[in-house]
Structure 1
């Protein structure tokens, strides 16, 4: 196992650029060095902008993960809202259809029973 503060050359970035028709390759090489925080060495490495410690790296990863989770929660919330809206529309339409069927069934029943009721009234009058 290598110690955290072992020094070795690391290529951070490479970029290709065309200048006057010729291709050039630029490369930035950073040599990791022990970072000193509050007068004590810490597990970090030197970058052009300063020191990035392991804790900061984890913080950035966690921050990115939290951002992704917030995005997914937002999308999930929108999806659930849309499902809820569709469900409400569907149940409202089903209720309306059921009420219409019940009304038609009642009208059909009244229409079917009316001749029988009229016949019974006539029989009662004559007896």
Structure 2
């Protein structure tokens, strides 16, 4: 849409400048030169700068739209990865809970085994004494 407006503005500007060139030989008096120098020359320069800046703005808007689309895509992928990370974190927490449970069992068996060392040592001494 903006491109169409820019094209029309460019066309209108070209038509105006062509008309000025065509009537210059006919419209050549002090009043015409005054209007030309005071209004129309500055209009031509301003029009050219305006069209140039509008084209730059149009390009910037196109680039912004592309970058916005890319950013949205990256955001979508980040959300997907966050879901995956949360799922893996849930699995890791489940595994960790299982590991804590296994550690508790290990600690209990280890304490039981250490508690039986004096009895085992006593039995070994008794066995050694009866063999010797």
TM-score, normalised to structure 1, is 0.51
Gaps of at least 5 residues in structure 2 are: 1-17, 113-132
- Structure 2 residue 77 is the aligned partner of structure 1 residue 93: no
- Structure 2 residue 43 is the aligned partner of structure 1 residue 70: no
**In 2: Cα distance, 1:61 partner to 1:90 partner:** 43
- Structure 2 residue 77 is the aligned partner of structure 1 residue 79: no
Whose strand fraction is larger, Structure 1's or Structure 2's? 1
> What's the CA shift string for 1:13-71, capped at 9, x where partnerless?
xxxxxxxxxxxxxxxxx9x95978x9501327xxxxxxx81121111111111110110
Provide the aligned C-alpha RMSD in A. 3.2
Whose helix fraction is larger, Structure 1's or Structure 2's? 2
**In 2: Cα distance, 1:112 partner to 1:55 partner:** 81
Query: Cα distance, 1:76 vs. partner?
Result: 1.0
**In 1: Cα distance, 2:61 partner to 2:100 partner:** 58
Q: Which residue of structure 2 lines up, in the alignment, with residue 59 of structure 1?
A: 50
Pick aligned residue for 2:96 from 95, 98, 105: 105
Gaps of at least 5 residues in structure 1 are: 1-29, 45-51, 121-127
State which structure, 1 or 2, has the greater radius of gyration over its C-alpha atoms: 2
Query: Cα distance, 1:112 vs. partner?
Result: 3.5
**In 2: Cα distance, 1:113 partner to 1:58 partner:** 79
Q: Which structure has the higher relative contact order (CA within 8 Å, separation 6+)?
A: 2
Query: Cα distance, 1:109 vs. partner?
Result: 2.0
Query: Cα distance, 1:80 vs. partner?
Result: 0.9
Pick aligned residue for 1:43 from 41, 44, 53: 41
Q: How many residues are matched? A: 82
- Structure 2 residue 102 is the aligned partner of structure 1 residue 114: no
